[in-house]
């Protein structure tokens, strides 16, 4: 079941999958480094599937249809989003029409888009799903209930080859708790939203890959992908009329990501944190 729709499922031939998941794309710098370099990064790591988080791709806040199309045309297989997904209104109808993009699963029913999608990539079926955290975030529905319902219909290693669950949230404890909650049920639980890559990539006891935050794609010499001036002014309470966050676009661009490999049962056998840097041209 994906957002109320029951799909016919069948047993699949078991296949290993190698997933490259890239962290939050921030502004033009993040878009450019993915659009210009994701094919070579994919080839370097021999990834079967490339998924990116693009909720900050449109000048730092939200995602537009044209940017989504640029990312998909550049070789991205699937796009996750987050709490800023509703900031660019032109994306609303696109969410209903594009089968390669998801918004958080635990938003109320009836909103545009889907919280989970199945990607068919070279004969391999990858289920991607996303939930929004509840701690220090705007009010949202249960994290676990929609995932429980989803995983009744899509069984790891039986009806899908691999399952990636993104938790987009602030609290490390909440992300860790979801990792253990889903341990053995999905291939990878990966956190996004804070833009700071964490050093805890690991395989949990029941063979689910986990990281608290994947990181970001863009100008890493910044404050979460934004020019430092406004955050510094806010910190020191020296507010100015121009107090808007501006995405950074410096000389060096970074792709932070996670490479997760699964066995024929869809469980994680290896998880590696990657950082690739490129000159901004």
Which of 52, 37, 18, 70 lies closest to 253 in space, CA to CA? 37
Residue 217: CA atoms inside 13 Å, Cβ hemisphere, count?
30
The CA distance from 149 to 185, in Å, is 13
More confident residue, 157 or 259: 259
Q: What's the pLDDT score for residue 91?
A: 96
Q: What's the pLDDT score for residue 225?
A: 87
pLDDT at 257 over 60: yes
pLDDT at 1 over 70: no
What pLDDT digit, counting tens, does each position of 260-269 carry?
999 999 999 9
Dmax of the chain from CA atoms? Answer: 60
Q: What's the pLDDT score for residue 239?
A: 67
What pLDDT digit, counting tens, does each position of 129-140 carry?
999 999 999 889
Across the beta sheet with 124-132, what order do the strands follow? 116-121, 124-132, 162-168, 188-192, 209-211, 202-203
More confident residue, 245 or 86: 86
Q: What's the pLDDT score for residue 281?
A: 81
SS3 state at 98? coil
Residue 13: pLDDT band (50, 70, 90) is low
Over residues 141-161, the mean pLDDT reads 94
pLDDT at 3 over 70: no
The CA distance from 189 to 174, in Å, is 12
More confident residue, 232 or 259: 259
Q: Which domains does the chain have, with CATH numbers?
A: 18-279 (3.60.21.10)
Residue 2: pLDDT band (50, 70, 90) is low
Phi (first) and psi of residue 92, to 5 degrees:
-55, -55
Residue 242: pLDDT band (50, 70, 90) is low
Tell me whether residue 59 is one of the annotated catalytic residues.
no
Which of 2-11, 19-28, 186-195, 199-208 is predicted least confidently?
Answer: 2-11
Return mean pLDDT, the chain: 92
Residue 7: pLDDT band (50, 70, 90) is very low
What pLDDT digit, counting tens, does each position of 186-231 carry?
999 999 999 999 999 999 999 999 999 999 999 999 989 888 888 8
The proportion of the chain whose per-residue pLDDT surpasses 70, expressed as a percent, equals 94
Q: What's the pLDDT score for residue 241?
A: 56
Q: What's the pLDDT score for residue 12?
A: 52
Q: What is the DSSP letter of 108?
A: P
pLDDT at 47 over 70: yes
Question: Left if phi > 0, otherwise alpha if psi is -120 to 50, otherwise beta: which for 43?
Answer: alpha
SS3 state at 116? strand
Over residues 108-113, the mean pLDDT reads 94
Catalytic residue from among 37, 59, 84, 195: 84
């Amino acid at each position: 079941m994906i957002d109320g729709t029951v799909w016919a499922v069948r047993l699949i031939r078991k296949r290993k999958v190698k997933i490259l998941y890239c962290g939050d794309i921030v502004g033009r710098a993040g878009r450019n480094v993915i659009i210009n370099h994701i094919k070579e990064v994919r080839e370097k790591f021999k990834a079967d599937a490339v998924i990116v988080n693009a909720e900050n791709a449109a000048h730092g806040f939200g995602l537009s249809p044209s940017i989504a199309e640029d990312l998909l045309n550049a070789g991205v297989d699937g796009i996750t989003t987050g709490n800023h997904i509703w900031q660019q209104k032109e994306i609303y109808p696109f969410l209903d029409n594009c089968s390669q993009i998801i918004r958080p699963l635990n938003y109320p029913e009836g909103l545009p888009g889907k919280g989970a999608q199945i990607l068919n990539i070279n004969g391999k079926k990858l289920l991607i799903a996303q939930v929004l955290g509840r701690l220090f975030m705007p009010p949202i529905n249960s994290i676990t209930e929609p995932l429980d319902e989803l995983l009744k219909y899509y069984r790891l290693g039986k009806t899908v080859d691999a399952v990636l669950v993104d938790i987009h949230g602030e609290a490390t404890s909440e992300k860790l708790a979801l990792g253990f909650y889903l341990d053995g049920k999905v291939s990878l639980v990966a956190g996004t939203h804070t833009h700071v890559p964490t050093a805890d990539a690991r395989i949990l006891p029941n063979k689910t890959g986990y990281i608290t935050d994947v990181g970001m794609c863009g100008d890493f010499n910044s404050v979460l992908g934004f020019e430092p001036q406004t955050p510094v002014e806010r910190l020191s309470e020296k507010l100015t009329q121009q107090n808007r966050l501006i995405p950074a676009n410096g000389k060096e661009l970074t792709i932070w990501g996670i490479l997760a490999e699964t066995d024929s049962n869809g469980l994680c056998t290896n998880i590696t944190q990657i950082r690739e840097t490129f000159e901004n041209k």
